[in-house]
Chain A
Amino acid sequence: MSARLGLHAALKHADPIVAPTAARLLAEIEDRESIPALIDFVLHSRSYAKTAGLNALRSLDAQDAIPAFEQLCADPYVPDDFYWYGHKGVRASAAVHLLSWGNTAGERFLQELLDNKDRVILRDFTATILQIKNQAAEGIQKQLSFEALWDEAQTVSLQDTAYTDASQLCSLCEAMAFVDDERADQCLRYYMDYYSRYVRGEAYKSLYRRHGDAVVAEITDSVNRHNTDFDRVVLGLISKDGDALKQIAESAQQAFDRTAALHALAEIEAPCDETLALSFINKSVGDEIYGALEWIVQTQSYDIALPERSNDALYDVYVNVLALKKELAPC
């Protein structure tokens, strides 16, 4: 089976992480020939995580997929988890991406979510909507003011909703990077001292996005004060410090901190350290394996000989992506 067909098969894999990872990586290597397979994935998968396929198609600017997005905006073709966010989340994802193309087919649904102060839009899509640069999005964008976000965060935490959830606060901090209001800085500085290191991490990134190098010293001070490996991973990412990230990847106690350091090395495209990457890939289990593969893929390190690994569909995704990327690379 060719690498591309292997990746298309992965889009049908039952594991909730395998298919979205394949979709994301197909977009990252800009494999436009996979657009029909991605359309098939988003139309026919019953997994909520197929939003990764919508993200991939938008990232590829696959305008052929617009009818599929419109269809999913009306009927997401996933189980109706009426009490939760998955069903609405897939619809909202399609609607937001359509809006970014200037298509307002999903605007009414997004407005309904906003009118209902639905956490679906507030937790997952605010940052994306605020980054859209077209007239079609302006009506929705205007409603995502600092007050709207902050008031929501303050009021609903007193009820039984999710704004005290660290995961949602990460989204709030991410969105604050794009809010045109000086008070967003104050909000981010508040969350730079939050008890959750992951919320702090998003606050660091957003403050940096707003002010660049001018706030690195302030972020460094906060990182040193909290003194966790994860805080340091985010600082390494912001300051593009590959050596610091490699050191954390080697020495961090928590598996996720090692994994996050590897993903950060991939994101800043630090030259891949073959010995270090393989030291993780040769492990029997652990998310670091895939963090190291991410690093290899993002840095196009085709010369690294990957070991055989059986019955690991996620590993196969990376192997196939690397092979396909090499195939697609200009000679």
Chain B
Amino acid sequence: MLKLGTAHKIISPSDIDKILLSGMPRRGPLQGKLDDTEVNVNVLYDGNTYVVTCVLDLVFVYKEMHDEIVAGIQDQLPDAHLILSCIHDHSGTATPRDGDDESHRAAAKTAARLVIQQSIAAILEAADQLSEVEVGSTRAYLSESLGSCRRAKFDNGACVTAWGAGPIIPPGRKWTGYGGQNANWIDILAFRKRGETKACAVMTSYGSHIHFYEVPMLTGEGGGYARAKMRDVLPQTAISYFTAYAGDEALLFNHPMPEGDEKALIQWQRDSSEMFATSFAECVQQALGQIAFADLESIAVEDYYWEDERETGGRKACYLLQSVKLANTALCAMPGEMFLEWDDVLRDRCQADHVFVIGYNISWLGYVATPLGFEEGSYECMRGPADKIGYGDNPRRVKSGTDTGDELISKVKEQLSTLFS
């Protein structure tokens, strides 16, 4: 019988005046904190196998973080399969504001340590509270787009990213539409204690960048707000928000940034996040009523890890594919900056009834466009494809090849075939 434990903890850094967070507007010093950032954990256990999902409000997570957390839980959860992921919050991943200042370096180090310590603490806390649960899943469709394709297409077929990365219309050109589909659905994986009528834990997976990142303050961005709103409408339920594919999607167009000073910018960030979170939570709440829950005897897991032999800037191109069979649902962890169009390829002739994608795991590949996406261009593939996964002609930047997406999805499908055949 499947058991589940959940926990979440705060990972907001202290000394935020001494660190820089990722995201371009935050290259300057932070001016305060709007929201706390979190780690959210689910520990699944079937009597033999532990599967741990650990999702952080960070922009990226790395293999060394994965290895450190695994080492920290090894004694209590031997051989656990850790799925480490992040929501791609640009409040994440601190660097010293002034690299020459020892106190700034210490503050960044403390922030990084806190992430690891709180992740380990949350996992161990969740593992201490395991209860028997049933599992169910569904795909819920939004009544209107929240995340939308951020690539606009010119009449000559070329694409340009319709935000800061070149969205002007040159003389003689016109836009004929967007470069892809909008993120109109939310995948939901829910757990219910035996004998109860309501879900005790809900995991959501949504395919869009979550940023409203223009505000130079610590914030959970769209994902953090969606999670908070789901907690409001689903009290007593443990909530985890995951970002799936987000390569070509963003929360931008439904919530254009207004005029005004910093106060107005903060209000816009709150209003936009509230709008996104409200629609998101309503959609999830309604869909939960449609889920059929079932018992689960055992968990099956397939892992595949690849890394490049070369190293650049202290980091190797790599990807980790983790597929888990949970009754009729496949949980697949993979890179996050894949184009949303890959979802159709993944689900084509898939043996699982539902697929729940966790993006932004420890893979390090850059954007993974579709082959046609590379032909079109845009910020996400502006450096062109590499000959194969790796660095292409640019030793400083990891990038994908035109066949990277096919290779990844094929391997995930192989995993699913093994698990579900």
Contacts and interface: CB of A to CB of B under 8 A. Distances in A.
A48 B377 contact: no
A124 B152 CA distance: 15
Interface stretch (A60-68, A86-94, A137-145, A181-189): A86-94
A165 B164 contact: no
A220 interface: no
B175 to A, nearest CB: 5
Q: How many interface residues does chain A have, given as a range?
A: 35 or more
Interface stretch (B9-17, B251-259, B274-282, B320-328): B251-259
B156 interface: yes
B171 A16 contact: no
Contacts of B397: 160
Given A160-B396, A165-B381, A230-B157, A89 B166 contact: yes
B172 interface: yes
A215 to B, nearest CB: 19
Contact of B157 (A58, A158, A260): A260
A181 B163 CA distance: 35
B375 interface: yes
Contact of A124 (B163, B168, B214, B383): B168
Contact of A158 (B156, B381, B393): B393
Given A198-B375, A290-B176, A84 B166 contact: yes
Interface in B118-162: 152-160, 162
B174 A198 contact: no
Interface string B382-396: 111000000001101
Given A49-B168, A83-B164, A166 B374 contact: yes
A81 B165 CA distance: 8
A161 B384 CA distance: 10
B146 to A, nearest CB: 15
Contact of A198 (B158, B165, B167): B158
Given A16-B152, A196-B374, A157 B171 contact: no
A196 B159 CA distance: 12
A93 B170 CA distance: 7
Q: Would you call the interface of chain A mostly helix, strand, loop, or mixed?
A: helix
A169 interface: yes
Contacts of A259: 176-177
Given A160-B383, A166-B375, A263-B155, A171 B170 contact: yes
Interface stretch (A17-25, A240-248, A272-280): A17-25
A165 B377 contact: yes
B164 A79 contact: yes
B176 A291 contact: yes
A7 to B, nearest CB: 16
A58 B169 CA distance: 14
Interface of A: 14-17, 20-21, 24, 46-49, 51-52, 55, 58, 79, 81-86, 89-90, 93, 96-97, 123-125, 127-128, 157-162, 164-171, 174, 195-199, 201-202, 230, 254, 256, 259-260, 263, 287, 290-291
Given A49-B175, A160-B394, A171-B158, 7 more contacts: A48-B167, A84-B165, A85-B168, A86-B168, A157-B384, A256-B153, A260-B157
